[in-house]
Structure formats: C-alpha cells, structure tokens
Amino acid sequence: MSTFPAPLDPWPAPRASGPVSGTVHVPGSKSLTNRYLVLAALADGPSYLRGVLDSRDSRLMVQALIRLGATITEVAPGTVEVTPLATTGHGAGPVDPLGDVTIDCGLAGTVMRFVPPVAALTSGTVRFTGDDAALSRPMGPVLDGLAGLGVQMDGPGLSAGTLPFTVHGTGGVDGGRVEVDASGSSQFVSALLLAAPRFRDGLHLVHTGATVPSPEHIGMTVAVLRRCGVQVDDSVPGEWRVSPGPIRALDTAVEPDLSNAGPFLAAAVATAGTVSVPDWPARTTQIGDRWRSILPAFGAQVDFSPTAPDAATGTLTVTGGPRITAPGEIADTGELAPTVAALCLLAEGPGQLTRIGQLRGHETDRLTALATEAGRIGGAVEEGPDHLVFTGLPAGAAPLHGATLKTYEDHRMATFAAVVGLAVPDVAIRDIATTAKTMPDFPEMWTRLVGG
C-alpha cells in the first residue's frame, strides 16, 4: 500500500480557468470495502476482495480485524485475501484466548460502530479508542444494543455513549430481540446486523425512534449480507430479522465510491464542463447513485452509457449547463450534502438541504461547519436544526470572495472547499490531507482534472 504524500498547508484550491473536462477513475467505496472486510473476517473461509479502497478508514478497519485475529494480506495490487477470525461465535468450537487488545478507530464511523459487535464474538478484552474528534461521535445505541444482547462492556465512554470503552468478549453472543433508537445514524443498525448471523439466536432488531437516516446504507448492509448467503427479513419497516448461520466467504470486486465521485462531477456543474466516471455500476445500493437525479436540479445533463447492452457497469457523464440553476429543496442527501452544499452556494437562486440532522454527528457537526465556512467566503446560509437554507447568487448579489477555509478533520469539508474554490478566487484549504480518510490521492486527482 502506498504512503500518503504531504501537500501544502494551507492548500491553494485550483481555480478553473474554463470548463473542466476529463475522465476520473474513482477508488473503491469506503462503505462497501469496510462491510466486505467485516463479513470476510466472520466468514466460513478465505475471501478475496478486489479493488479495495486504500485509505485511512480502510486501513483502520484492516488493522482492527487483524488485532481481532483475522489475517489480511494484499496478494496483488488492490486485492486482499482475508482469512477469518479463529472464533466466530457459538458452535465454532473452542476459542483461543485473544488477550488484551486496543483498537484505534481514528475518526471512522464504520470502524467504531461495526467492530465492537465483532469484538464481542472473540475471547478478548478489546479496548476501543479514537481521534479526539471521534470522542464526541455518538455510539450509545450500538452499546445499548450490545448490552441488551448480553455483551459485557465497561470504560469511561460507556455512560455517555461514546469512545473510549472496552468490550469483554466471551467467544460468543446469545443474540435475540433488541430495541435501539437509530435516528442518529444508520450505522447503529448496520453495526448490529453485520455480526448478527454469528449470534447464537441471530437478531431481531427493532428501531424505536424517529426516521432512520441514510436508508441506502442499511439497504447496502442487507444486500451484502444476503450476498453472503445470510437470511435477512426487512419486510416490516423499522425491523430487521437476521437468521443465525454461516457467512459465505466472498470473492468480489468493490464498486468505485460514488459519493467520492461527487466533487469531480460537481466540477463539471460548477464550470459548465464535462466529467466522466467509468466503471459506474448500472445497479447499486450506494447513495452516490443519486448524483444522477441531484445534478439535473442544478441544470446539468447526466448520461449513463453502459459498456455493452445489459452490462453491469457503464460510464456516467455529467455536463454542466450554461447556468447553475436554483435547485429548490433536496432532502436526505446524507454524506453527499457537503458537495451539494458547494453547488447550492454557487447556484443562481435558492436551495434547501433538508432532513440532514444526522450530519451533526459526522466527522464534525457538518451543518455548523458548512454554515460557518460558507459565511467566511460571503455566502448566505441559514442553519436549522436539521437543514440548511441557501440564498445562492441571484443577479445583483455580492460575489463570493476568497478565504482560508477550515476542514475540521472532515474529508468532505475539504472537498466542499475544493468545489467552491473552482469558482471563487483565492480559496485556500486548511488540512487538505484530511481527504486521506477516504481518498488519499484527492489533491493530485483534483489538480490533474481542474489544472494547477
């Protein structure tokens, strides 16, 4: 795996001198990579994963699963072989003691939420820590869910429902029915579902709160479990039943990260250019497929051309219109919101991003961060409890002006600033290297596409 180069800090965001045009090969999906790694670590034999993402979040997941006893080896560039944990729950025979291990979650939601249920299946005392910024990310419903399933835990974060905490694995989890409030993050549901086939009685998970956000990510979890031969019943809204049983080993390729394709596609919209992303899946559970419906709201044309009739993949091409039109209300954009927000700032009229309250528990409080950084360049944004309202740039509005934008250790705040910087002079970005969380090559890829 490559090491990450250190770009300038602050990083002068390239300004587009004309329409941006090009083809961008986007690395593997973080959400799929980290789900496949977890399932492969719990599977019934060795798995082969191709096109895996190499980024901070995926490396943290690899390290976590290795600490828990999996063997993960890069056998060819971008291909890893995963030999599962020695202990995978009830009925798996005697369990070798794992001892005391510490897992660094960094700032990765997928690691801090998905790995504790796996740790509960081992025979180890597993301490979970993370970046300072991770200590305020909500974990409570996962911990409550595990406690409800009989898992022993302690540690300083437990009462507040945050890192750090310790899971005392006993080599198996009974499982059964448990209620959690997953209105704060879809990852609370995904976390419990992913390990559930290895619980003795499987899992009947009942959500007890307001709407669960990011439903696409739960759909992804259910789809990857089914792909591994696991029975999941999601026919009752807000409830999931996972049958106990083996997780079939995987031999699969990871789709490109369609959420991370967003800033590149947005570059076409922001500059009336044309950007293509090859290997776009014709059908996918990724939320990033919504670019196809979101970008036309900004006046762009979106074309999907399959590599062959009925092919599983094709090329998505976005061509920006002569004007960035006012998008109106766009709901449930989840992790796409920062990129959509950048286009809202540049649009010729108003836009509203609604039902994104869960973004307050992401890498940073993204609603406040977006409103603050937009204000720094003269953008008019009103922040509500779970929404943002943008005035845009109607005729006669004062133009946006340059500033050094903060990123709050948030990769998507960094790419937000890069999109804005295409159209606004003299934007510099603090800590562009934070994009290494999911796309270490972002500075180079961006410079190559938009010009230095």
Q: Which residues are the active-site residues? A: 335
Of the candidates 53, 108, 267, 269, which one interacts with ligand PEP according to CB under 6 A? 108
Q: Which of residues 427-446 bind ligand PEP (CB under 6 A)?
A: 438
Rule CB under 6 A: choose which of 335, 373, 409, 431 binds ligand PEP. Answer: 335
CA gyration radius for the chain?
22
Contacts of ligand PEP in 144-173 (CB under 6 A) = none
Closest by Cα among 367, 394, 365, 412 to 259: 412
**Residue ranges in 221-250 that form contacts with ligand PEP under rule CB under 6 A:** none
Q: Residue 23 Cβ, how far from ligand PEP at the closest point, in Å?
A: 24
Q: How far apart are CA 198 and CA 28, in angstroms?
A: 27
| Residue 412 interacting entry, from ligand PEP, ligand S3P, none, C-beta within 5 to 8 Å by type | ligand PEP
| Partner that binds at residue 213, options ligand PEP, ligand S3P, none, CB closer than 5 to 8 Å by kind | ligand S3P
- From ligand PEP, ligand S3P, none, interface partner of 217 (C-beta below 5 to 8 A by class): ligand S3P
Grouping H, G, I as helix, E, B as strand and the rest as coil, residue 410 is coil
Strand locations in 197-342 (E): 203-207, 232-233, 239-242, 251-253, 274-281, 301-306, 313-319, 328-331
Q: Torsions phi, psi of 407, nearest 5?
A: -120, -10
| Number of residues lying near ligand PEP (CB under 6 A) | 8
Residue 27 region by backbone torsions, left for phi larger than 0, else alpha for psi between -120 and 50, else beta: beta
Rule CB under 6 A: say whether 110 interacts with ligand PEP: yes
Q: How far is the CB of 293 from ligand S3P (least distance, A)?
A: 18
Q: Which does 406 bind (CB under 5 to 8 A by kind): ligand PEP, ligand S3P, none?
A: none
276 is in an annotated binding site: no
Tell me how far, at minimum, the Cβ of 108 lies from ligand PEP, in Å.
5
17 is in an annotated binding site: no
Does residue 109 bind ligand PEP (CB under 6 A)?
A: yes
Judged by CB under 6 A, the residue of 57, 335, 373, 409 near ligand S3P is 335
Is residue 162 close enough to count as binding ligand S3P by CB under 6 A?
no
**Of 360, 414, 287, 318, residue with least CA distance to 10:** 414
Residue 8 Cα distances to 79, 94, 428, angstroms: 31, 52, 10
Distance CA 55, CA 364 (A): 19
Q: 407-410, long-range: CB within 8 Å, 24+ apart, which pairs?
A: 407/431, 407/432, 407/434, 408/133, 408/363, 408/364, 408/369, 409/107, 409/131, 409/133, 409/363, 409/364, 409/434, 410/338, 410/362, 410/363, 410/364, 410/366, 410/369, 410/434
Please identify which residue in the block is written with the tokens 């006893």: 69
Q: Is 217 in the site for ligand S3P (CB under 6 A)?
A: yes
| Structure token pair of residue 129 | 């820590």
Q: How many chain residues touch ligand S3P (CB under 6 A)?
A: 13
- Report the nearest approach of ligand S3P to the CB of residue 46 (Å): 24
- Answer yes or no whether residue 124 interacts with ligand S3P by CB under 6 A: no
Q: Which residues contribute to the site for ligand PEP (CB under 6 A)?
A: 108-110, 335, 362-363, 412, 438
Instruction: Please state the residue numbers annotated as binding site.
Output: 30-31, 35, 109, 137, 185-187, 214, 335, 358, 362, 366, 412, 437
Instruction: Please state the residue numbers annotated as binding site for phosphoenolpyruvate.
Output: 30, 109, 137, 187, 366, 412, 437
